[in-house]
Amino acid sequence: MDPVLVRGVSPAAVVRRVEAAGLDSRAPLARIDGPESVFAMLAPRLALGEARLRELVGSEVDVIEAVSRYLVDGGGKRLRPMLTALGAGAVGFGGDLPSLMCVGELIHLGSLLHDDVVDGAVLRRSRPAAHVAYGNAATILTGDFCLARAVLLASTVGGHAAVTALAEAVTAMAEGEVLQLQRAGSLGTSLDEYLDMVDKKSAALIAWCTAAGALAAEQPAAAAALARFGRGAGVAFQVTDDVLDYAAGTGKLAGADLRERKLTLPLVHAMARVPGLRARLESRAPTPEELPALVAEIRESGALAAALDEARTRVENALAALDELPPSRDRDALAVLGRYLVERAT
């Protein structure tokens, strides 16, 4: 399955269209003018990163390799390798880029394996979640394997600054996940608390991925700028994913967050717009039969558009950090990709 950023659009599909038109996807592009040009530019780097990822999830322990390959074969956005490749390109990183691109993705894979067990998720990427296919114990321990391999890889190809920053990001992720677990079903969480949780559980790793090449190249000022961009884009990305929870065709059950009464930005806006919604949700969780009508009610309230406006603002503010980097096609591509992280939901 092709890695996807949005339903029906994938980097691999873009490259096939470019080559079908008689163009060489490996040739430099004159300019970066949209997500398809970014995907085409990144295609050779993504192909190398994907091949390396499949090597890294291999193991002499059969069940570990089976579980990790099951998730890798399911596809995914591959956003983190993209951001690592572009951030590294923007600073002229000359090391082992395919391996560096895999660090954040391995952390992400490990966290998905853990999260689906904790959440009791049934589907992941339109297939039964790994724990449904292989059991909780094997899935949790394979998640540990992915996390450990990522840290070792960061140390090997990134050096001290990179692995230290990664440890800080993974610590923040764990704190964010626990905060989300503690606040599950609590609609009294403030907007600031929600955004802090998002910053920890999602944006911290995206910030690291964007800055990884600069950290490895020992360019602290560039790393700080790239991390600021990645953090803002990461918050916007999670908010957009929260909006997409109300959409069909994402590979997950529509309204999964709502069913769990998980406070997200779309729900914050919906409760301010739909009379009595908060009281209804505080009294009890919606039944599976009630969920479709409730999702439709929230869609019609304008809450999703309001949340996307907040995500756009986050991206636009984050773009200022890129001005601290020298002009390059990779820097331009970061800006295009940052905006696309929100526009994929429209």
Tokens representing 251 are 């590979």
Q: Long-range CB contacts (< 8 A, 24+ apart) of 21-29?
A: 28/329, 29/329
Return d(Cα 286, Cα 278) in angstroms, integer.
12
Lowest mean pLDDT among 121-135, 226-240, 317-331: 121-135
pLDDT band, residue 20 (cuts 50/70/90) = very low
What are the structural domains of the chain? 11-343 (1.10.600.10)
Return d(Cα 337, Cα 310) in angstroms, integer.
17
Residue 223 has pLDDT above 50, yes or no: yes
Taking only the tens place, the pLDDT of each residue in 41-60 is 999 999 999 999 999 999 99
Residue type, 330: D
Residue 8 has pLDDT above 70, yes or no: no
Q: What is the pLDDT of residue 140?
A: 98
pLDDT band, residue 263 (cuts 50/70/90) = confident
Greater confidence (12 vs 319) lies with 319
Query: What percent of the chain is predicted at pLDDT more than 90?
Result: 76
- Tell which phi-psi region holds residue 78, choosing left (phi > 0), alpha (psi between -120 and 50) or beta: left
Residues with Cβ within 8 Å of residue 225, at least 6 apart in sequence? 321, 322, 324, 325
Tokens representing 131 are 């724990």
Nearest CA to 11 out of 312, 346, 333 is that of 333
Q: Which residue has tokens 């959409």?
A: 247
HSE on the CB side for 295, CA within 13 Å? 21
Residue type, 100: L
Q: What is the pLDDT of residue 259?
A: 86
Return d(Cα 232, Cα 147) in angstroms, integer.
24
Taking the CA atoms of 228, 313, 33 and 18 in sequence, report the sign of the dihedral they define.
Answer: positive
Residues 159-173: what's their mean pLDDT? 98
Residues 88-99: what's their mean pLDDT? 98
Residues with Cβ within 8 Å of residue 20, at least 6 apart in sequence? none
Return d(Cα 149, Cα 307) in angstroms, integer.
36
Q: What is the pLDDT of residue 17?
A: 45
Residue 87 has pLDDT above 70, yes or no: yes
Residue type, 229: F
pLDDT band, residue 109 (cuts 50/70/90) = very high
HSE on the CB side for 98, CA within 13 Å? 14
User: Rg (Cα) of the chain, in Å, rounded?
Assistant: 20
Q: How does DSSP classify residue 3?
A: B
Number of H helices, E strands in the chain: 17, 2
Taking only the tens place, the pLDDT of each residue in 68-79 is 999 999 989 899
**Cβ atoms 78, 121 nearer than 8 A:** no
Greater confidence (252 vs 225) lies with 225
Taking only the tens place, the pLDDT of each residue in 201-219 is 999 999 999 999 999 999 9
